[in-house]
Amino acid sequence: MHEPNWFRWTRRVGLFVLLVFTLVPIYVMVSSAVKPLQDVQGTFTWWPSHFTLAPFRDMWTTIPLARYFVNSLVVAAASSLASVLIALLAAYSISRYRFRGRQTFSVVVLSTQMFPGILFLLPLFVMFVNISNVTGINLYGSRLGLILTFLTFTLPFAIWMLIGYLDSIPRELDEAALVDGNGPLGALFRVVVPAAIPGIVAVAIYAFMTAWGEVLFASIMTDDTTRTLAVGLRGYATQNNVYWNQIMAASLTVSVPIVIGFLLMQRFMVAGLTAGSVK
The three-state DSSP-derived secondary structure of 178-216 is HHCCCCHHHHHHHHHHHHCHHHHHHHHHHHHHHHHCCCH
In a domain? residue 155:
yes
pLDDT band at 1 (very low <50, low <70, confident <90, very high): low
Q: Model confidence over 62-112: pLDDT tens digits?
A: 889 899 999 999 999 999 999 999 999 988 888 888 878 777 877 787 777
| Euclidean distance between CA atoms 213 and 202, whole angstroms | 17
DSSP code of residue 183: -
Query: Is residue 230 within 8 Å of residue 213, measured between CB atoms?
Result: yes
Q: Model confidence over 111-138: pLDDT tens digits?
A: 777 777 788 888 888 888 888 888 888 8
In a domain? residue 203:
yes
What pLDDT, on the 0 to 100 scale, is given for residue 134?
86
Query: Is residue 73 within 8 Å of residue 142, measured between CB atoms?
Result: no
In a domain? residue 213:
yes
What pLDDT, on the 0 to 100 scale, is given for residue 77?
92
In a domain? residue 26:
no
The parent domain of residue 153 ranges over 64-236
CATH code for the domain in which residue 175 is found: 1.10.3720.10
In a domain? residue 173:
yes
As a whole number, the mean pLDDT across the chain is: 83
**190 pLDDT more than 90:** no
What pLDDT, on the 0 to 100 scale, is given for residue 81?
93
What pLDDT, on the 0 to 100 scale, is given for residue 147?
92
In a domain? residue 100:
yes
Number of domains in the chain: 1
For the entire predicted model, the pTM comes to: 0.81
What pLDDT, on the 0 to 100 scale, is given for residue 273?
47
In a domain? residue 248:
no
In a domain? residue 115:
yes
What pLDDT, on the 0 to 100 scale, is given for residue 17?
92
